[in-house]
A and B are shown apart, each in its own frame.
Chain A
């Protein structure tokens, strides 16, 4: 067992390090928006719907992530469209896409010749086998997200906080919503390889819940979330390496632990503050 520095001599570990950094940036930013807008359930729908794309990708012999990308963007837009134009209740609309995607995925994987060996890595993630190409794509996505959320910060914040009021101030609310739901979908797909479909929700919500303990300001929440997401995923990565357990589950476990510790810290701080006040 070498030191942490030694680990960086391994390509696979270096890749995993970059993957956890970019996962933290993308999920930290997008997750803050998801949590603030209370659309965690929509994100769950998109995540699971993308499984349909993975199944079709396998069946056709494409890169399954390509299929997942198409499916998640379509389901993201579909949920919004069904709800708005089809007058369907939003949670029902989400459930339809959620289950339809899973069903299509299962059917096509069943129909695909041979055994699908990497299936587990899509369900539970496999940060240690992330390729350099995938790292570059995630780096690109990080750049796009940072740029978009910086340049459009006030428009995003105002639409998220009070859609109807934002409309009266002349903001293109629907356009902004569609762009954001597409960015959510792409972020989810790119992070499937890191933590997997089943566990991705926690990378989009746990660092944000932790950040929310310390701030109620959207911009600080994005920043802290990225920080907590990175600490959690890198520590989880090390933990999985030394304890020889699956990385995705290990990262989630670390994120929960981090939340628990920080919750304890804030409770102690508050008690101290109250004692001082006395």
Chain B
């Protein structure tokens, strides 16, 4: 069985506002799932539910992997950029199941793993800098290292393409494609056009989750998913309407 996790009839609400309703989704081993949807549609809530940060009002999430094997890259605006912390410590904070939190516990294995990740992302020379001294792109690389610190089987990224330059953006997506050989990836983005070039499947989140088992999605389909998004067209990317669309096995949530 290659299922990593299953979301079953998940409903999440804040106060009395229902953010997600009866959402269903299965994440499998080699998935590279793009999550799109309008602002306030529940993209971030879906992710927070996956990470155990919000309690579902109804439904459940069944994990087939340990929850600690999920890597997470939060939105960068969550971070206090003037916090007195070094790059190395940021990366090390991604490690769970540590035996000691002591100031003097500096496991060689942990540090060399952090170093190798920093090296892989090309930011090893920044390891002793304060996080605030880095550019947006460098910072995202460091946070990507942090999310990989636990050798995850599933990597969740919440809008990693905000506040970074175009060059870093394409480098990042190439990197993710490479990482996808080792782990499943869920990528939340508002830029459908760009991510559809990299992802394998798409889920549109707008109160419900509409799963689309292909990276090719049309404006009409988005409309039928009640997913009012504008597709940003990039020359080479095919945005053809799949005529057999209706025959696909969709994991629809209920419309309301």
Contact = CB atoms under 8 A, between A and B. Distances in A.
Interface string A166-208: 1111100000000000000000000000000000000000000
A161 B91 CA distance: 12
Given A38-B80, A218-B84, A161 B90 contact: yes
B1 interface: no
Contacts of A169: 68, 93-96, 150
Contacts of A276: none
B19 to A, nearest CB: 16
A68 B132 CA distance: 38
B62 interface: no
Given A168-B51, A217-B85, A155 B74 contact: no
Which interface class (under 10, 10 to 19, 20 to 34, 35 or more) fits A? 20 to 34
Interface in B84-100: 84-86, 89-90, 92-98
Interface string B57-72: 0000000000110101
Given A151-B101, A154-B98, A157-B85, A164 B93 contact: no
Contacts of B89: 157, 217-218
B74 A161 contact: no
Nearest to A217: B86
A216 B84 contact: yes
Contacts of B52: 167-168
Contact of B104 (A36, A150, A155, A218): A150
Contact of A165 (B68, B72, B85, B130): B72
A66 interface: no
Say what secondary structure dominates the interface of chain A: helix
A11 B20 CA distance: 68
A36 B81 CA distance: 11
A217 B128 CA distance: 9
A219 B93 CA distance: 15
B102 interface: yes
A116 interface: no
A252 B131 CA distance: 31
A150 B100 CA distance: 11
A153 B85 CA distance: 12
B93 A157 contact: yes
Given A162-B74, A166-B93, A155 B84 contact: no
Contacts of A267: none
A31 to B, nearest CB: 12
A173 to B, nearest CB: 10
A121 to B, nearest CB: 34
Given A150-B103, A153-B103, A155-B101, A168 B70 contact: yes
A158 B93 contact: yes
A139 interface: no
A219 B88 CA distance: 13
Nearest to B73: A165
A168 B133 CA distance: 26
A164 B150 CA distance: 16
Nearest to B83: A161
B78 A167 contact: no
A218 B85 contact: yes
A164 B147 CA distance: 13
Interface string A138-162: 0000000000011111111110111
Nearest to A208: B84
Contact of B84 (A152, A154, A168, A217): A217
B53 interface: yes
A157 B90 CA distance: 9
Given A151-B102, A153-B101, A154-B101, A165 B93 contact: yes
Given A36-B84, A153-B101, 19 more contacts: A38-B80, A149-B103, A150-B102, A152-B101, A153-B103, A160-B83, A161-B79, A161-B93, A164-B74, A165-B74, A166-B93, A167-B51, A169-B93, A170-B68, A215-B84, A216-B85, A216-B132, A217-B86, A217-B89
Interface of A: 32, 36, 38, 149-158, 160-162, 164-170, 212, 215-219, 221
29 contacts: A150-B104, A152-B101, A152-B102, A153-B101, A154-B102, A154-B103, A154-B105, A156-B101, A157-B85, A158-B93, A161-B83, A162-B93, A164-B53, A165-B72, A165-B146, A166-B93, A168-B51, A169-B94, A169-B95, A169-B150, A170-B68, A170-B96, A212-B84, A215-B84, A216-B132, A217-B84, A217-B85, A217-B130, A218-B89
**Which 6 A/B pairs are nearest by Cβ-Cβ distance?**
A216-B130, A153-B103, A154-B101, A158-B93, A155-B101, A169-B96
